[in-house]
Amino acid sequence: MSRLQARLKSGILAAAANAACLLALAGAAWAQPPTDPGNTTRRPGEAASKQAEADIRLAVRDAQRLTATDPAKAVERLQDALAQVDSTAGLSEERRAALKRMLKDRIRVTQLAANDPKAADSADKEVGKGGKKGARDDRAADQDRVRRLLEEIRTLQKQGKLGEGRLRLTALSPKDADNPAIKATERITSTKDQIASNRQLQADRERGTNDALREVDRGSVIPKGDIEFPKDWKERTKNRSTKPKLTAKEMAIFRGLGSVISVKFKDTYLEDAIEYLQTYLGQPIVLDPLAMEELGLKYDTPVTLSLNRVTLRTVLTKVVRDLGLAYVIKDEVIQVTTPKTAQEMMVTHVYSIADLARDPLEAAMLIDLIQSTVDPGSWKANGGTGTIVYHPLTQSLVIKQSSEFHAAMSNTLP
């Protein structure tokens, strides 16, 4: 092997190794303090309180289901939650007192249910006096939330931002699906989308025809020299960038997925597990109802998983893959859908490797190294959905992968 070939092989190996390390440490990279104005990075105490509140919410739901069949186990579940409130740092004193008061009331009612159902009913009614007002307040808050959402969607539609309005509808919770106002808005949005699509198609057709005829006329003009550049050529080349552009919200999602978390799900409803992760992440996670119907899944499908100090990305991947689902980051939200749909939503990006590979053989070596070291299971050659192809004319790799992959690779390959 010549000295030049040895240097080339060393460069290829180093590039692939850097890419593998970058994805392995992606959680740490996205967990760094943000420079965007939103500054969504959590302090340690705040992260602990967020996880504690999610755990307590899950414990109350479990206890409510167990009260009718095993009150003793329900009490034990609530007592564990009460102990967690006492030991959790980062909770304000007012919030800690409110949670303890609520849990103690539920423990008292559940204990009475085990010994004297009539007394339990009386105590439950006493606790429910304040609960009825809270329920009315919750309903009023839901109605106000739906009203504000519909106003926001109508404003976006008036501004011509139909895609953003449709995205607001997809982020609704399942309990809003039967709301008549929501249904009417969905029909109106669908109709406006079709009208806008037809108008856009007609405009594109006319513009394409005019552009083609204009190019024919321009082709008849004899150039002044050997080659002529457009007037804005310098501006175009100055602003050219091959790296994927990430919005502030996408950066916040990537950082949140890199957060370290411990979970213990045992026969937890899928909807509850997703809500738990969504609460901790602070970003929307949307379940695709059509994908769930296709795979025979329901919102109460049980999820069992126990992981200690892993990234939230690992937990979410494990939950959805065990059910035959996949997730992608698109339109600034996490969307859970089928692997086939996820593949259709992947992003294609081109990476120049002119300084790493001079011929198809060297490019094949680089491709093999990337597929075997950078998230191997995600590539089509290894049973996944991602693809990578060498384009010899431009000496570049055309890679179709997830947004997470491209966000990491942009710092490795130009």
Q: In terms of pLDDT, which residue wins out, 24 or 82?
A: 82
pLDDT at 110 over 70: yes
State pLDDT tens for residues 256-270.
Answer: 888 899 999 999 999
β-strands 387-391, 396-401: how paired? antiparallel
Helix (H, G, I), strand (E, B) or coil at 74: helix
CA 78 centroid distance within chain: 31
- Domain range summary for the chain, segments of one domain joined by +: 3-24+346-409, 44-143, 258-343
**Residue 76, Cβ density class (10 Å: 0-12 exposed, 13-18 middle, ≥19 buried):** middle
Mean pLDDT of 56-81: 82
State pLDDT tens for residues 237-289.
Answer: 555 455 556 778 888 888 888 889 999 999 999 999 999 998 888 889 999 99
pLDDT at 121 over 70: no
Contacting residues for 209 by C-beta, under 8 A, at least 6 apart: none
pLDDT at 106 over 90: no
Average pLDDT, the chain: 75
Asked if 325 and 337 touch (Cβ cutoff 8 Å), the reply is yes
pLDDT at 189 over 90: no
State pLDDT tens for residues 366-392.
Answer: 999 988 888 787 788 887 778 999 998
State pLDDT tens for residues 157-180.
Answer: 677 776 676 666 665 655 555 666
Which of 30-39, 232-241, 322-331, 403-412 bottoms out in mean pLDDT, i.e. has the lowest?
Answer: 30-39
* CA–CA distance, 44 with 33 (Å, rounded to integer): 12
State pLDDT tens for residues 292-333.
Answer: 999 999 999 999 999 999 999 899 989 999 999 988 888 888
CATH code of the region 258-343? 3.55.50.30
By residue count, the chain amounts to 414
